[in-house]
Amino acid sequence: MTDTRALAARVSELSKQLERASFEYYVLDRPTLTDAEYDRLFRELQDIERAHPSLRAPDSPTLRIGAPPQSSLPRHTHAFPMLSLGNAFTDEELREWEARLVRIAGDDVRTAGYCAELKIDGAAVSLIYEGGILVAGATRGNGVVGEDVTPNIRTVRDVPLRLTGSSLPARVEIRGEIYYPFDLFERMNEELVKQGERVFANPRNAASGSLRLLDSSITRQRPLRFFGYSIVAANDVDLALARQSDVLDRLEAWGVPVAPHRRRCRSLDEAIAWAHALELQVRGTLNFAIDGGVLKVDSLALQEELGVVGGREPRWAIARKFAPDIAETTLLDIRVNVGRTGALNPYAVLDPVEIGGTTVTYATLHNEDLILRKDLRIGDLVQVKRAGEVIPQVIGPIPDRRTGMERRWTMPRKCPVCGTPVVRDEDTVAAFCPNVSCPGRQLEGLVHFASRGAMDIRGLSYARIEQLVTAGLIHDVADLYALREDQLKHLERFAEKSAQALVDAIAASKVQPLSRLLFGLGIRHVGATAAEVLAREFGSMRALMEASTESIGAVRGIGDIIAHSVAAYFGEPSARELIRRLHDAGVTMTEPEPVKSDGALKGKTVVITGTLPTLSRPEAAELVERNGGRVTDSVSRKTSFVLAGDAAGSKLEKARQLGIEVIDEAELYRRIGREA
Ligand SMILES: [Zn+2]
């Protein structure tokens, strides 16, 4: 009897832990348990309940799919419940799964094949289309009731507002996953820190959190993306689909993005091999998070026959989960690195730990503010995450495991490289070294210059640059173009061939357009986008260098902060000298004109007014310009047409008075020959 009592206590403990974790995960978007821990506890509870059905409470977490919606967003009741997936952590569990299916539906299961898809680690959503038009979008919520996030869904760029193709059903539901691309995730977190906001723990929480914002204009600024994976329709709707693979094909035909690397596998062995390749080869190359692969019985007829288990999980699908990408280790020290703009970036030195097949020793800590916010102390046991190509990150400390020996950390008062007193930037929370010739800045500056988004110099890795700097061969970016093969081949780890290859790669970068060069120079506040806007607007380095702060600030998309920074940079004699040397070395100083003269809107003068359904004003203007049109501010007889959205005011009135054509966003898309 004591045994049962102990089990009952364990069930209650597990339920409480899981409920709390669900709340933190789904409602607060602030997970405290790792996915692997959550799965482990969930399984333990499931196992106990299976063996002792009397211990299962009517409100057991195993009967639920997520937490109920608790925000002030309107509720959306799903026409068909949104189920979750059972998990397999080993190949053996996949074989047991197939054996169970065979017991229910016979040997047909083995021959029907499996549809294998990526398991996107994002936020599941349901999209409703009527007559091919997106009319509603909702989160999963608890699977039965979710939140209506239609205005936010409409801002997701690759969610089609209108399905393409003919013979679209009167009403259909498309399910899929909203996700946050890795590269942009890092950038957003840095932005949030600057604004003093709480950062997101991972891209999945960023996707879910951005999707559930009450203000869709903020969601619009978040680069959310979407992959569809299923079509749900009422029984009387015949879509002529026989297999899950057909479903994915149909989604693509309708213009819905489908995740890459999907595969129709003839047997479970083939599916297992696919999952292994996914984990070992594909995972690290993706710009979005996946936490495994999904196998679905391909035949829809068989899926129907296999049905749903426990009202919660479809029998015919299973997630093959990856080894966790989070580990615990000790934070040995916090050190500071000097960035290319002089920013002091603290990073974590860890007790080396194996995560997903790689040993991790260092992790980013972003900035001082984040360390204080997370209350990280040297000596803490911390959780470290490594996903894809993202730099390993410290998620946070495990305060329960503190011994009292941990030490708090503060930002050094002097630059750790050159000793110059540290300055605080007013615009951001960052501390930085103001010394422009700080050797720390130069190393990072060179690394940035050679990076993929900048001059893209193949083979010029961090280690190589460090080696060249140490050898005294380069001090700044212009020195790169003077490097000769015979200087390199005496260096350690340089074969004659690699020396020549590097010199060639550096020479090849001379043709990069002005936008890449501007970005590569590492001017404070000038990111890739600003560099592109400036290069397009001014066309040449000379024009930009001669421009006044006011004329730079007047460019759309460039604010005062960037304008001042650019003007200050070119005001420095050392910067002008650097540009001169780059020019003399033959580096391109101009931006090619974008091809737009034969666009669909050639010769049209367009006025934009009101709030458009999906495009922001600058985005709409860019679209018009890319297609050869010109955007002006006020309506006159010369205006070709007015693009109007909601709450358009006097401009719309004026257009009507003058008899000028007024169109909506959908019509704009039609005119430029593109689906919304
Ligand atoms: Zn310094």
- Any catalytic annotation for residue 321? no
Alpha-helical regions (H) of 180-234: 182-194, 203-211, 216-221
Q: Which residue has the tokens 């289309």?
A: 129
Collapse the DSSP code of 205 into the 3-class scheme (helix H, G, I; strand E, B; otherwise coil) and give the result: helix
Residue 259 lies in a domain: yes
Close Cβ partners of 295 (under 8 Å, ≥ 6 residues apart): 94, 114, 115, 116, 265, 268, 271, 275, 317, 318, 320
pLDDT tens-digit map of 435-484 = 767 888 888 889 889 988 899 998 888 888 888 888 888 888 999 999 99
What's the gap in Å between 478 CA and the centre of ligand 1?
20
pLDDT at 67 over 50: no
The Cα 53–Cα 258 span in angstroms is: 40
> 296-339 pLDDT, tens per residue?
999 999 999 999 887 778 999 999 988 777 888 999 999 988 87
**Cα separations (Å) of 210 from 221, 457, 597?**
9, 35, 38
Rounded distance from Cα 480 to ligand 1 centre (Å):
22
Across residues 112-134, what is the average pLDDT? 93
- 16, 119, 497, 604: which is the annotated catalytic residue? 119
Return the closest-CA partner of residue 59 out of 28, 19, 98. Answer: 19
In a domain, 232, yes or no: yes
Residues 659 and 568 in one domain: no
- Give me the pLDDT at residue 594, please: 64
527 Cα–ligand 1 center, Å: 22
Dihedral in degrees, nearest 10, Cα atoms 454, 458, 463, 467 = -100
Asked if residue 358 belongs to a domain, the reply is: yes
- Six-digit token string for 448: 């940035």
Q: How far is the CA of 169 from the centre of ligand 1 (A)?
A: 64
Same domain membership, residue 613 and residue 562: no
Tell me how far the alpha carbon of residue 505 lies from the centroid of ligand 1, in angstroms.
Answer: 30
539, two tokens: 């066309």
Tell me, what CATH number does 572's domain have? 1.10.150.20
CATH number at residue 633: 3.40.50.10190
Let me know whether 618 and 654 are in one domain. yes
Calculate mean pLDDT across residues 248-252.
Answer: 94
The conformation of residue 212, written as its DSSP 8-state character, comes to T
Q: Which residues of 606-631 are buried (b: 16+ CB within 10 A; e: fewer)?
A: bbbbbebebbebeebbbbbbebbbeb
Range of the domain at 551: 512-593
Answer whether residue 483 is part of any domain: no
How sure is the predictor about 641, in pLDDT bands with cuts at 50, 70 and 90?
very high
Q: Is the domain of 127 the same as that of 233?
A: yes
Give 424 Cα–ligand 1 centroid separation in angstroms: 13
How many folded domains does the chain comprise? Answer: 5
In this structure, the answer to whether residues 536 and 653 fall within a common structural domain is no
The protein residues having their C-beta less than 5 angstroms from ligand 1 (an ion) are 415, 417-418, 420, 433, 435, 438
Question: In terms of domains, do 627 and 642 share one?
Answer: yes
N-terminal to C-terminal alpha carbon distance within the chain = 65
Q: Hey, how many other C-beta atoms are within 10 angstroms of the C-beta on 220?
A: 21
| Cβ-contact 326, 384 below 8 angstroms | yes
Q: Ligand 1 center to residue 340 CA distance, Å?
A: 10
Please tell me whether residues 134 and 34 are part of one structural domain: no
Say whether pTM exceeds 0.85. no
Position 265 in a domain: yes
User: Strand 661-663 and strand 641-644: pairing?
Assistant: parallel
Is the model's pLDDT at 492 over the cut of 60?
yes
